[in-house]
């Protein structure tokens, strides 16, 4: 006799079994994961780096409807999650007493999370594949931010040297040192090692 889902607990138990079979480390599965004032049903966190990899929300309905009030609230809270780049958000749903469940992924291009857009997921990626995709996305965000910061600094330095050349202001050694320190602190979060004006800043991994 097929198993029937009568609670979100039974739905959660079934998904955890699938994740373990897909190679997800048991210590990566964090139930009732809290971020600030928000609690999520299940978070996948890399045990080595502590990086957030994915979030799962469970929904058992008498009628299969995604946009219930409870789910809308959770999705709106997810939008405020303080993370550098969006991580996958999956909704695991089933009808009360049903024998099957489905997994859908929230599309981030949905501008209004009160009417979210989903794509059906036929098979979840294994742990290493999912982790690699999330890390690659974060690296791209870091590179984009570094490019923007470098462009801003370049223009500011150009303006500063034009003002100095025009005798509108004067760049002293003290000001140059202070400027170097400010630039170093500004770029430090985006680089592993930075050398500027004889000083070296190294960020621990």
Q: Which domain holds residue 20?
A: 8-124
User: Is 182 inside any structural domain?
Assistant: yes
Domain final residue pick, 77, 100, 124: 124
What is the percent of the chain where pLDDT is above 70?
55
> Would you say how long the chain is, in residues?
205
Instruction: Render pLDDT for 46-90 as a digit per residue (tens, 0 to 9).
Output: 998 888 888 898 887 765 454 445 555 556 555 555 444 567 888
Query: Given a cut of 50, is residue 197 above it in pLDDT?
Result: no
User: Is 1 inside any structural domain?
Assistant: no
Query: What is the reported pLDDT for 24?
Result: 92
Count how many domains the chain has: 2
3-state SS of the chain is CCCCCCCHHHHHHHHHHHHHHCCCCHHHEEEEEEECCEEEEEEEECCCCCCEEEEEEEEEECCCCCCCHHHHHHHHHHHCCCCCCCCCEEEEEEECCCCCEEEEEECCCCCCCCCCCEEEECCCCCHHHHHHHHHHHHHHHHHHHHHHHHHHHHHHHHHHHHHHHCCCCCCCHHHHHHHHHHHHHHHHHHCCEEEECCEEEECCC
User: Is 3 inside any structural domain?
Assistant: no
| 149 and 118, same domain (yes or no) | no
Query: What is the reported pLDDT for 138?
Result: 65
Instruction: Render pLDDT for 144-164 as a digit per residue (tens, 0 to 9).
Output: 566 676 677 767 777 777 777
Domain final residue pick, 124, 141, 159: 124
| 41 and 108, same domain (yes or no) | yes
- Residue that wins the pLDDT comparison between 193 and 93: 93
| 112 and 13, same domain (yes or no) | yes
Query: Given a cut of 50, is residue 176 above it in pLDDT?
Result: yes
Least confident of 30-44, 66-80, 112-126: 66-80
Could you tell me the CATH number of the domain that includes residue 51? 3.40.1350
| 86 and 20, same domain (yes or no) | yes
Domain final residue pick, 100, 124, 148: 124
């Amino acid at each position: 006799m097929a198993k029937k889902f009568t609670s979100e607990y039974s739905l959660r138990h079934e998904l955890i079994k699938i994740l373990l079979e897909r190679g997800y480390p048991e210590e990566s599965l964090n139930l009732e994961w809290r971020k600030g004032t928000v609690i999520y049903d299940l978070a996948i966190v890399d045990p080595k780096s502590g990086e957030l990899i994915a979030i799962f929300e469970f929904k058992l309905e008498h009628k299969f409807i995604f946009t219930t009030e409870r789910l809308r609230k959770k999705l709106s809270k997810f939008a405020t999650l303080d993370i550098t780049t969006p991580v996958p958000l999956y909704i695991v749903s089933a009808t009360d007493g049903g024998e099957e469940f489905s997994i859908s992924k929230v599309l981030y291009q949905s501008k209004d999370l009160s009417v979210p857009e989903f794509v059906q997921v036929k098979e979840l990626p294994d742990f290493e594949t999912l982790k690699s995709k999330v890390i690659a996305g974060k690296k791209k965000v870091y590179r984009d931010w570094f490019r923007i910061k470098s462009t801003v600094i370049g223009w500011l330095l150009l303006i500063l040297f034009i003002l100095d050349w025009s005798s509108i202001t004067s760049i002293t050694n003290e000001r140059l040192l202070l400027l170097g320190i400010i630039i170093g602190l500004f770029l430090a979060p985006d680089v592993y090692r930075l050398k500027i004006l004889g000083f070296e800043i190294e960020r621990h991994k």
